[in-house]
């Protein structure tokens, strides 16, 4: 007589990850795998009542930066609080292996500059118990997490490891350098790397202002690395490009893909300076796909936006001389000064001073908003501080100043700088519906004091299927499939992202009507009290990883069934779902 299932999820409305209509059924799980779908008579050792709830596969987030966090924490928050059950790290060419001891500081400075993860946090948190990439993977394989993690080989670390100072200084690689990098890249895939990542954007700099080592890496270098990896096993070549040079760099990346047969994946977004270039880029991708290339565009689910505030990395007055004079003070003391009429008058009378910081901007108050509660990421232009100030006959700087002083100095301003050139998210919807795109760019684990986008998976469900009022929505089956099965396949993971017998039992039980994102808040819970932005989320009744409940009612259970995922599991990539 067959034994009872380990877990039965009863009576949920199932979005199975394949894009079909929702259906009501029970789900049985045994040994970490889904064993049966339908009306299940047997009682489970554990049961979850999912009547009236949405049951989905666990979400697969292909663009995170948990490379440091996985070394000091077993809880991959905030992604694990947003229904994510597999996170892929090592994106954008930055990471911590391979690395010689002499280069520890260099790689920390690069991660701090590119991803806004404070140096004290990284220095205190990373144990550096490895040198090679296989060593790093072996070390991670001994750890346990509240979700599965997958790793990519970061180009900057590889380049510096092989070329030393020449690599850091962006010198052209020699044939000998390329051969050495190719050998190590092949070793990385043998050790389980899901891919290789690089960056060619001027915005990616070290905390000391130097450009990323990979900025101008030659086509021969990229071809050698990608070719070596893909000869060993399926691996994805992930990259980030500058919008201003995409017309030069994308054709080169397509040649690399064509010459190596390596799948490629990169971020596509709408830029204010060229608001229709994304369409041209997707057209190029679709033409390449029609020629047989495997290529995926990663699309942010909402505007990529900066959060500005007194407690954060940036604010509109940070380069005003009178603010700079008090910027070093603790928040409480700084707040006291900012309330003084003479300090306020001085700061508001000054103008920003240009710096070489890639994130410096002259505030455009017609693209600056109060995010609100609940946070609204698709506000009309009349909500911008500039429009509000004109209606009130005031200066927008005054409104920004007052907003940041609110909530005892914790008030935040929101500046969408990508995906909002039109003042709405219609372009994002079109991008998400493209057959060669997947949701991406959540940057979980990164941008601790300026961006809070790890909630993308939840936002995809709340905004795009339920709450959007300024344009067309998307269907629940489409959104669930996009960020579970489709993302999984894009990085070669064929065993997850579907609720069907035989698949890995990574599952969410969601109170869809109650699913809700709170405004971002600053928490000081990183090593040495380091700061990061987090968003509380309500509505996840249960998140299940390999058949084990890791989150219940928004609270971690303490179970850590998550493991390092080594290597892609086959070549399946075909996918189809209507966007209705």
How would DSSP label each residue in 216-283? T--HHHHHHHHHHHHHHS--EEEEEE-GGGHHHHHHHHHHHHHHHT--EEEE---BTTBTTHHHHHHH
In degrees, to the nearest 5, what angle opens at C-alpha 272 toward C-alphas 270 and 274?
A: 75
Do residues 146 and 221 both lie within one domain?
yes
Q: What is d(CA 88, CA 433) in angstroms, rounded to the nearest whole number?
A: 22
Phi, psi of 145 (to 5 degrees): -135, 170
CA dihedral 351, 357, 359, 364 (to 10 degrees): 20
Per-residue confidence (pLDDT) for residue 443, from 0 to 100: 96
- Evaluate whether 117 touches 533 at the Cβ level (below 8 Å): no
By DSSP bridging, strand 23-30 and strand 7-14 are: antiparallel
Do residues 437 and 457 both lie within one domain?
yes
Q: For tokens 């900057």, what's the residue?
A: 156
Quick: pLDDT tens for 361-381: 678 999 999 999 999 999 999
Phi, psi of 478 (to 5 degrees): -65, -50
Per-residue confidence (pLDDT) for residue 227, from 0 to 100: 96
Quick: pLDDT tens for 562-579: 999 998 654 333 333 334
The total number of structural domains that make up the chain: 3
Q: What is d(CA 471, CA 357) in angstroms, rounded to the nearest whole number?
A: 36
CA-wise closest residue to 487 among 474, 497, 478, 499: 497
CA-wise closest residue to 527 among 164, 73, 141: 73
Instruction: Report if residue 290 sits inside a domain.
Output: yes
Do residues 125 and 227 both lie within one domain?
yes
Instruction: Report if residue 517 sits inside a domain.
Output: yes
Which one of 444, 463, 490 terminates a domain?
490
Burial 306-315 (b: 16+ CB within 10 A, else e): bbbbbbbbbb
CATH number of the domain within which 14 lies: 2.30.40.10
**Token pair for 80:** 């694990």
- The β-bridge partners of 14 are 23, 55
Instruction: Report if residue 1 sits inside a domain.
Output: no
Q: For tokens 């009236």, what's the residue?
A: 52
Q: What is d(CA 51, CA 339) in angstroms, rounded to the nearest whole number?
A: 52
Which one of 358, 389, 416 terminates a domain?
416
Helix axes 133-141, 175-190, angle to 10 degrees: 20
Question: Which H, E and C letters describe 305-328, residue by residue?
Answer: EEEECCCCCCCCCCCCHHHHCCCC
Domain containing 398 equals 307-416
CATH number of the domain within which 256 lies: 3.20.20.140
Instruction: Report if residue 570 sits inside a domain.
Output: no
CA-wise closest residue to 489 among 154, 94, 86, 37: 86
Do residues 105 and 142 both lie within one domain?
yes
pLDDT tens for each residue of the chain, 580 residues long: 368 999 999 999 999 999 999 999 999 999 999 999 999 999 999 999 999 999 999 999 999 999 999 999 999 999 999 999 999 999 999 999 999 999 999 999 999 999 999 999 999 999 999 999 999 999 999 999 999 999 999 999 999 999 999 999 999 999 999 999 999 999 999 999 999 999 999 889 999 999 999 999 999 999 999 999 999 988 999 999 987 788 889 999 999 999 999 999 999 999 999 999 999 999 999 999 999 999 999 999 999 999 999 999 999 999 999 999 999 999 999 999 999 999 999 999 998 876 665 555 678 999 999 999 999 999 999 999 999 999 999 999 999 999 999 999 999 999 999 999 999 999 999 999 999 999 999 999 999 999 999 999 999 999 999 999 999 999 999 999 999 999 999 999 999 999 999 999 999 999 999 999 999 999 999 999 999 999 999 999 999 999 999 999 999 999 999 999 998 654 333 333 334 3
Q: What is d(CA 167, CA 532) in angstroms, rounded to the nearest whole number?
A: 31
Which one of 463, 490, 517 terminates a domain?
490
Do residues 162 and 246 both lie within one domain?
yes
- Evaluate whether 182 touches 224 at the Cβ level (below 8 Å): yes
Per-residue confidence (pLDDT) for residue 576, from 0 to 100: 34
Do residues 257 and 313 both lie within one domain?
no
**Token pair for 499:** 């609720």
- Evaluate whether 69 touches 47 at the Cβ level (below 8 Å): no
DSSP labels for 336-404? HHHTSHHHHHHHHHS-----S-TT-----GGG-EE-TTTT-SS--GGGSHHHHHHHHTS-HHHHHHHHH
- Evaluate whether 503 touches 490 at the Cβ level (below 8 Å): no
Do residues 456 and 316 both lie within one domain?
no
Do residues 367 and 452 both lie within one domain?
no
pTM of the model: 0.95
Do residues 175 and 316 both lie within one domain?
no
Q: Residue 522: which H helix or E strand, with range?
A: strand 516-526
Per-residue confidence (pLDDT) for residue 242, from 0 to 100: 86
Task: Provide the sign of the torsion angle of the four alpha carbons 339, 343, 349, 351, taken in this order.
Answer: negative
- Evaluate whether 95 touches 476 at the Cβ level (below 8 Å): no
CA-wise closest residue to 414 among 530, 338, 302, 532: 302
DSSP label of 194: -
Q: Residue 136: which H helix or E strand, with range?
A: helix 133-141
Q: What is d(CA 505, CA 501) in angstroms, rounded to the nearest whole number?
A: 9
Do residues 225 and 331 both lie within one domain?
no
Per-residue confidence (pLDDT) for residue 577, from 0 to 100: 36
Helix axes 219-232, 246-260, angle to 10 degrees: 40
**Do you know the residue count of the chain?**
580
């Amino acid at each position: 007589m067959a034994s009872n299932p380990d877990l039965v999820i009863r009576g949920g409305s199932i979005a199975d990850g394949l894009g079909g209509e929702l259906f009501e059924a029970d789900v049985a799980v045994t040994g970490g795998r889904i064993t049966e779908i339908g009306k299940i008579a047997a009682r489970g050792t554990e049961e979850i009542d999912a009547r009236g709830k949405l049951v989905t596969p666990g979400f697969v987030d292909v663009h995170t930066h948990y490379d440091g966090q996985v070394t000091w924490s077993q809880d991959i928050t905030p992604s694990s609080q947003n229904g994510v059950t597999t996170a892929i790290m090592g994106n954008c060419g930055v990471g911590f292996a391979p690395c010689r001891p002499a280069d520890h500081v260099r790689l920390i400075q690069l991660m701090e500059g590119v991803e806004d993860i404070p140096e004290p946090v990284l220095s205190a948190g990373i144990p550096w118990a490895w040198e090679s990439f296989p060593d790093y993977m072996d070390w991670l394989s001994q750890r346990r997490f509240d979700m599965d993690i997958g790793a990519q080989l970061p180009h900057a670390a590889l380049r510096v490891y092989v070329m030393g100072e020449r690599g850091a200084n962006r010198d052209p690689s020699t044939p000998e350098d390329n051969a050495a990098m190719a050998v190590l890249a092949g070793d990385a895939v043998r050790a389980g790397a899901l891919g290789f990542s690089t960056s060619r954007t001027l915005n990616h700099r070290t905390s000391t202002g130097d450009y990323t080592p990979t900025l101008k890496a030659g086509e021969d270098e990229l071809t050698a690395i990608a070719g070596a990896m893909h000869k060993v096993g399926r691996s994805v070549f992930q990259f980030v490009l500058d919008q201003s040079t995409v017309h030069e760099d994308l054709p080169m990346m397509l040649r690399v893909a064509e010459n190596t047969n390596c799948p490629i994946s990169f971020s596509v977004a709408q830029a204010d300076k060229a608001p229709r270039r994304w369409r041209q880029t997707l057209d190029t991708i679709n033409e390449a796909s029609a020629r047989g290339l495997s290529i995926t565009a990663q699309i942010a689910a909402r505007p990529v936006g900066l959060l500005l505030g007194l407690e954060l990395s940036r604010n509109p007055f940070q380069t005003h001389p009178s603010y700079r004079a008090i910027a070093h003070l603790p928040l409480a003391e700084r707040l006291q000064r900012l309330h003084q009429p003479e300090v306020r008058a001085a700061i508001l009378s000054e103008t920003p001073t240009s710096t070489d910081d890639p994130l410096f901007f002259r505030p455009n108050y017609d693209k600056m908003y109060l995010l609100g509660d609940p946070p609204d990421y698709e506000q009309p232009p009349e909500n911008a501080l500039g429009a509000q100030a004109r209606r009130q006959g005031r200066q927008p700087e005054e409104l920004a100043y007052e907003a940041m002083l609110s909530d005892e100095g914790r008030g935040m301003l929101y500046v969408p700088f990508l995906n909002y050139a039109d003042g709405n998210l219609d372009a994002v919807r079109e991008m998400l519906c493209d057959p060669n795109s997947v949701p991406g760019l959540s940057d979980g684990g990164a941008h601790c004091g300026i961006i809070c986008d790890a909630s993308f998976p939840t936002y995809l469900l709340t905004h795009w299927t339920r709450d959007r009022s300024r344009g067309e929505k998307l269907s629940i089956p489409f959104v669930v499939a996009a960020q579970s099965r489709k993302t999984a396949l894009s990085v070669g993971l064929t065993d997850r992202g579907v609720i069907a017998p035989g698949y890995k039992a990574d599952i969410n039980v969601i109170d869809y009507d109650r699913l809700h994102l709170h405004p971002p808040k600053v928490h000081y819970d990183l090593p040495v009290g380091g700061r990061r932005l987090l968003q509380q989320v309500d509505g996840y009744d249960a998140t299940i990883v390999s058949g084990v409940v890791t989150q219940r009612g928004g609270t971690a259970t303490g179970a850590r069934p998550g493991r390092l995922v080594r290597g892609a599991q086959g070549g399946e990539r075909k996918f189809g779902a209507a966007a209705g």
